[in-house]
Amino acid sequence: MSGELGGGKMKRAATPFVICALADPVVNSLARQLSGATFVAVQTVGQALDLLLDRSCNLLIIDHSLLGDQATHLINVARVELGMSGVPIIYVVPKDRDPGLLRELVDELVISQVLFQPVDIAELIYQISRTLGIAGHDPIARDQTGEASRAEVQSAVATLWERFRSTNLERVEILEQATHDILTGTLPIEARREAERAAHKLAGAVGSFGFPTAALTARQIEMLLAGDTALSPDEVMRLADLVIRLRVELERPAPPGSVAVDQSVSDTAGDSLGRILLVTADAELDEQVTTEAQQRSLDVDHATTMAEARVRIACQRPDVVLLDLAPSEGSDAGLALLAELSNQEPPLPVVVLTQRNSLIDRVEVAILGGSGFLEKPLLPTQIIDTLYDVVESNRATESVILAVDDDPSILAWLRATLEPHGLRMVGLDDPLRFWSEIEETVPDLVILDVDMPHISGIELCKVLRNEQRWRALPVLVLTALTDPSTVHRVFAAGADDFVSKPIVGPELITRIDNRLERNRLHQRLAEIDVLTGVANRRKSSQAIEQLLRFARRRGDPLALAILDLDHFKQINDQYGHVAGDTTLRRLGELLGHSFRKEDVVGRWGGEEFVVALYGVSRSGAERRIMDVLDHFHHQRFTSPAGREYQASFSAGLAFFPDDGGDIASLYRAADRALYQAKVNGRHSVRSSGRR
């Protein structure tokens, strides 16, 4: 479909004609709310073809659930035999439609926009009004003239602008060609849609690179090009003037202080899996650990004193510090450095290496924020295994953002903005790959652009909210449209927040941090036992399963201990339930401080706790549990009535792989050992297989 859109006699298009293979109530609703078009409902492919043969169609809407596989036949006939290659088609598909089939719809059948069942009437109305340019589509908030505050220009964004400058200027060329064709009356409707899309992309992108005036100009151009109604002579002249101004604006350098990014980001990424700072005066240990680390693709930096370590960290922050508490400077100096690094924001992981291995030493290191406690002598491979696990663990807890936007320059800008703040960003410029990417990435937050080809961010958000797994995933929407209708669509789809384009970096970071923090709080409440502060049964079971996977893969030992408070009912009966809660809380705190970060401590209900110790021998596990038992037994408790009492627990231990290869079998073996410990009397530790 083409026609004169400017120059000569200005023609006003007839009322758009829309054929709808939709349920009758849906078509009736469209007709009521969009008076600027004529909607005709069809229930079969034959009815649709009769209408297509009888008159011109401006838009075809097909619900797959109504026509089934015959819908493909209808589209092929319309495209090939009836010459309707330029007529837009909106296709409604089941929400569980194979993403590969969606790609076929777009590539082979040239579907303009995909919506998902159950169809959202408001979203369908928006897409129709946007496609036809009729009442209901007001893409520009005309009074939006305020310019948001900007942070200092940084080299990363300047580099990005140079990288994408030619792309944005090519979009200006599309607008210039469209303006020329309008003036000569030769602009096809397909070219007008391409020009409208180019203006939309410019409006969303260039403001974030320091051209807010150009962004506003592009929005005004987009508004003029929306729909297919012929432009008046005054509108054509205004369009030409706006395109000239847009070119002039984007040809100049980006103004200082206009881009909201806090620091530059290096594009270089080596093959290293992480960086270790080794703090030791032991030359032999230094050499052995360095050799082993390099074989595992870990870089090593070196410091022989605590003062030198501080300088090294200031110059280049490592992923983990191995701190040797050798007597050269005294353990106090090393512990002071540990406390200092743990109090950094974000904390720097520190693994302590020492010949001292008392419970007091372990508790002190844990309280100061240590990420691991290694006892000399130890093989270099064992040291590097621990450091590697700490690096991987910290990377696993790094927040991952999946950003979906069909404009690569926006994705690059987002990466430059987010990654300096410790947020790992995965960019996706093809919304049709969204499902496979989210399964692979498993993000902590999703950023969606509202208007994208074929599938809008609104539709993607709705699909997420319909899936139980992703229902609570934070979703932030980017949009160049801030009119009330768009804002309503964003929140009605289930989005948590939105940010208007051009994007202001600090505002975006603040909104993301707020959402992530709120999500972490909800997650923590769902994973932590409120009374004792240790992991609940669900969370600790997941962590133990992960340790078992490590143990199977590496052939390392794993100990599972069940701890049960002795005569707990008697404590409640004699001293009150407040005293019982205090006893449980104190034991939880002691367990949390007494073991390494890689060990697992959980409360499995009532007075029962479990502890999983990774890579520890049978005798080592027994000794550690006994140390905690002795420490707990010597504590004094005071009831609300002022009566003093003591408490103790008994423990049973089981070991992988001797007693089983999964949690269930290890738990049964540990429970049998616990029963034997109870038979022996309170304050007892018993291991499986021992009589």
Residue count (the chain): 691
Q: Please give the Cα distance from 338 to 151 (Å, whole number).
A: 35
Catalytic pick from 598, 607, 608, 622? Answer: 607
Helical ranges in 148-265 per DSSP H = 155-184, 189-205, 212-225, 233-251
Edge-first strand order for the sheet with 59-63 is: 38-41, 17-21, 59-63, 89-93, 113-116
Q: Please give the Cα distance from 612 to 280 (Å, whole number).
A: 30
Short-list 379, 374, 378, CA closest to 362 = 374
- The number of C-alpha atoms within 13 Å of 601 and in the hemisphere containing its C-beta is 18
Short-list 601, 628, 593, 600, CA closest to 614 = 600
For 552, counting Cβ atoms within 10 Å of its Cβ (0-12 exposed, 13-18 middle, 19+ buried), the class is: middle
Q: Angle at CA 193, nearest 5°, toward 190 and 194?
A: 90
User: How many of the other CB atoms lie within 10 Å of CB of 682?
Assistant: 14
Q: Please give the Cα distance from 459 to 456 (Å, whole number).
A: 5
User: How many of the other CB atoms lie within 10 Å of CB of 417?
Assistant: 30
Is 375 part of the annotated catalytic residue set? no
Q: 16 near 58, Cβ under 8 Å? A: yes
C-alpha R_g of the chain: 33
Point out the residues that are catalytic: 607
